[in-house]
A and B are shown apart, each in its own frame.
Chain A
Amino acid sequence: MLTPEEQREIEEETAHFPVRRAACIDALRVVQKHRGWVSDDAVRDIAEFLGTSSDDIDSIATFYNLIFRKPVGRHVIMICDSVSCWVMGYDKMRDHLKARLGVEVGQTTSDGRFTLLPVVCLGACDRAPTMIVDGQLHANLDPQKIDEILERYK
């Protein structure tokens, strides 16, 4: 079931489009904002709320890699693996993160604190290597800086 809060926020988004179904991306974002990820049940609920099928919603949900269809940790780290960051030492940053967190890219730490994911370009090539944590950009990374940053997210 969508919460009243979620329903209200999605309803607001539908007002921007001539057809309800068009608000599906926003609906997915609303649900993810509140729950951290989008479950199969949530896909069904959104479909019902917007008058379309689960298959229809899932085809959109799975298309966007920033819509999470599996549970994620409390904080999501997305490290850029694009060209500029790669030139500037992305590999070392990734390996450092993997070692610090004890997970592979795509996994969540056993305490449910962090999920580590790759991302393609954060638009900050001039300050590579980069990553974002919960939407906050962190640039000019080095291993020590990464350690400091991780400390801020409990």
Chain B
Amino acid sequence: MSKIFVDKKAYEVNPKQNLLEACLGHGLDLPYFCWHPAMGSVGACRQCAVKVYRDENDTRGRIVMACMTPITENMLVSIQDPEVKDFRAGIIEGLMMSHPHDCPVCDEGGECHLQDMTVMSGHNYRRYEFRKRTFRNQYLGPLLNHEMNRCIQCYRCTRFYNEYAGGKDFGPQVLRNLVYFGRAEDGVLENEFSGNLVEVCPTGVFTDKTLKQHYTRKWDLQMAPTVCAHCALGCNTTAGERYGTLRRIVNRYNSQVNGYFLCDRGRFGYEHVNSARRIRSARARRDGQLADIPKAEALDRFSSFAAAGKMIGIGSPRSSLEANFALRALVGPENFYAGISDAAHRLLGEMLAILRQGPAPASLLQIEHADAALVLGEDVTNVAPRMALTLRQTVRQVWLDKAEKMRIPRWQDHAVRELAQKDHGPLFVASPYATRLDDVATETHRAAPDDIARLGFAVAHILDSASPEVPGLPEPVRAQAERIAKALQEAARPAVVSGVSTGSVAVVRAAADVARALAKAGKPVAFALAMEEMNSLGLAMMEPKPLGEALEAARRGDAQTVVVLENDLYRRAPAETVDALIGAAAHVVVLDSLEGRTTEKAELLLPSTPFAEADGTVVSSEGRAQRFFRVYPPPGDIQDAWRWLADVLGLLTRPEGLSWKNLDDLVEAVARTFPALERIRDAAPRASFRIAGAKIPRQPHRYSGRTSMLANIAVSEPKPPEDPDSALSFTMEGAPVEPPAALQPFFWTGGWNSIQSVNKFQEEIAGPLRGGDAGVRLIEPAAGSAPGYLNTVPAAFTPRSAEWLVVARHHIFGSEELSANAPAIAELSPKPYVALGAEDAASLGAAEGAAVEVKLEGGSARLPLRIESGLPRGVAALPAGLGPLDGITLPIWGRIELTR
């Protein structure tokens, strides 16, 4: 630590930071625009000017930009010097010259960094009397709104979109006071992280178009800390509600997980909560139709089924640990089945076993710091999108390290980029088809899953000859394996990433062997396995039985009642299998929040809570247990799935049902039952947690209309709803001081109304949140344990003459079940198709768009052909989770014929 003096007061600061970071980290108010904690400094906006002094005798000092100034021991700094204050006021006056001052109609108003900085700099009177420059705005797609007149030319948007996220279809145009940030022509922004512009832009140029449909000011939102429900990474988010509709999602900083950024699926996928297809009351089948019934009647029926005979439960990877556990308790552990396909179940079990033996699953932060990376068989951008943004940063690490050696600080963003030019550090991507990381990849490898596994095993064997050799490897592949092994070996912090994309156990095992070989060589390897759903790993940790056995049980007559927890089984198995399971049961009970193919088959349908209306614990693919909190109480008869199940247990006078009063009781029961889940108790404080005797308010202190918003129903102000499950309250009043990070419902502090107020909640800038980042890691293999190699090299892939190996191709927009119900995401989702390589399409005599018949075991469909030049011979691809064949587990061999 170094000591600096700011306005004659001494501060201990981290010498690796710049002066702006050091000042902000100590809570000093210094305005800025172009600097971003994750993107570093470029010194473009000149707003963070301070004075530095040579020594005590220097009374004049000189003006420098704090963001471009490294820390020196005992440096003398002034923020308050009148001359530099005047300088900052002049800068903002210049930046604001053409700003339209349209705050009342601007979506950013009330949480605008530009507003905050204008107030902070004391620019409160406009002197510029001439015409302002105005622009034509562009259509940028269903996610973002464009309002260029508000721009102050800080260049943050292009630095994020082009430099950080690798976008190609956006950039700065023109010059001088006419600089314009947009696309060459109107059109949907192609980058999967475009939504971050909402937060990166310091003013209202880029705003959330989905929020605009039901606009609410930040101060009028009731907010809660939650966890993204749209993949397994567990990105932390803040969700906001008003009048019973979920209004938007913003990033919630977690230094270990998502940092400052989200993917567009996570940010804009929330509107399934507001869907017209929500199930709002209990329904029972009468004369073949589902009709609303009172809650009490639903519970009576449910308990009568339970008393009537054997019951099986089908859990869900998109439900919390608590909901799954309650179902497991109701039906008994021996009747609790995984609500995923058997192949997915096997793969997930394998991944859990591998992670438990080690290397431990890496956090996104750890992956970001890797200086070489191998992505084996994973389409990261489409399965675990936020990780792709992380991997994109790894190619810069070599240059950041080199810069540091040349005494260029890591935060000197453009100096480091100049040093690197277009050169990237090592990143290797092996996948059956082109991926969105290929543009920064050193080398790519296109092959069928088994051949990808063989490449991985070959790399592992080169790294450590104790791992199995791959027989009959073609020379070019062997040479490529050599190059990959060499890059990983030379790296100080290599990363290995794989996951569920190829659906291949062999690929995951090969990735594990590479990681293990690197670990054995003493490398701090960052190892990550991408998974699909919010609680995929948590479900695996509860040891459910495979779904296939549920069908067996039903056939045997051991399943009079099937209880399906928040799951569309038609996405998990072919329709005829699901129909057989449902047909064999006398009663089918479904708990879910949205109508779907499975809920249509229910005899009894119980409305459960989507993430925004629920509390629960989920385990991310990093093995991080995280709590999500309801934003608002579920309306009407809707209640948490675990509460429905606990109510039935209560009616059956089972002890659990009587003892489970709130979420903490469930957490306790889960922790006691599963030693591996013991630490979920620490994922969040208990519901009894209080600060100075008070709960933590979900509503900001400026929340308006509380006494009047329901005046059309009753003039007296209703009592706020109770929250038995958490230390948060549905009120404005509460804890006078900052709550622990895991309970922070929103980031907001005096003078800092925008999301950039997060600076004030960190131990140091871009460091952990004060009180620790949210979540607890559950999977930490014993130190010093050296897991063996998995020794399962598959045979080389051989194309078949009239059949194709049909693999799944995931899509960030469309493949995930819940977000596909959000209109903006649905608009970006591809139409169903089948893809073939160019040669295979030619041999079939089919052109792009031709109708072809895809015949798989479990179903067939006529689909338009898409030609993907990268696909290897003998391999076809179907979009995952969408289209008529979405229930069939891939990869699978099948026939593809030109329709006559």
Contacts and interface: CB of A to CB of B under 8 A. Distances in A.
- Asked if A pairs with B, the answer is yes
B60 interface: no
Interface residues of B, number: 13
Nearest to A61: B173
Residue from the set A52, A53, A56 with the largest chain B CB neighbour count within 10 Å:
A53
A113 to B, nearest CB: 27
Given A19-B422, A56-B168, A40 B173 contact: no
A59 interface: yes
Contacts of B172: 59
A65 B174 CA distance: 8
Interface string B170-200: 1111110000100111000000000000000
A76 to B, nearest CB: 19
Given A40-B184, A40-B185, A63-B175, A55 B169 contact: yes
A80 B169 CA distance: 36
A54 B175 CA distance: 17
Contacts of A40: 184-185
Contacts of A54: 169, 184-185
Contacts of A63: 173-175
Interface in A1-60: 19, 40, 43-44, 52-59
A62 interface: yes
A53 B173 contact: no
B171 A55 contact: yes
A57 B168 CA distance: 11
B67 to A, nearest CB: 24
Nearest to A57: B184
Nearest to B158: A59
A59 B422 contact: no
B169 A53 contact: yes
A53 B190 CA distance: 12
Contacts of B174: 62-63
A55 B175 contact: no
A98 B137 CA distance: 32
A59 B183 CA distance: 9
Nearest to B169: A55
Given A55-B183, A56-B168, A62 B422 contact: no
B185 A59 contact: no
Nearest to A65: B175
B422 A55 contact: no
Q: Which of B168, B169, B171 has the most CB of A within 10 A?
A: B171
Contacts of A55: 168-171, 183-184
A59 B163 CA distance: 15
Nearest to A56: B171
A65 B170 CA distance: 20
Contacts of A56: 168, 171
B422 A58 contact: no
B180 to A, nearest CB: 8
A49 to B, nearest CB: 15
A94 B107 CA distance: 44
Interface string A96-123: 0000000000000000000000000000
A43 B184 contact: yes
Nearest to B168: A53
A57 B422 CA distance: 17
B412 to A, nearest CB: 23
A59 B171 CA distance: 7
B173 A62 contact: yes
Contacts of B180: 62
A33 B175 CA distance: 23
A58 B175 CA distance: 12
Nearest to A19: B422
17 contacts: A40-B185, A52-B168, A53-B168, A53-B169, A55-B168, A55-B169, A55-B170, A55-B184, A56-B168, A56-B171, A57-B184, A58-B173, A59-B172, A62-B174, A62-B175, A63-B174, A65-B175
Given A56-B168, A63-B175, 18 more contacts: A19-B422, A40-B184, A40-B185, A44-B184, A53-B169, A54-B169, A54-B184, A54-B185, A55-B171, A55-B184, A56-B171, A57-B184, A58-B173, A58-B184, A62-B174, A62-B175, A63-B174, A65-B175
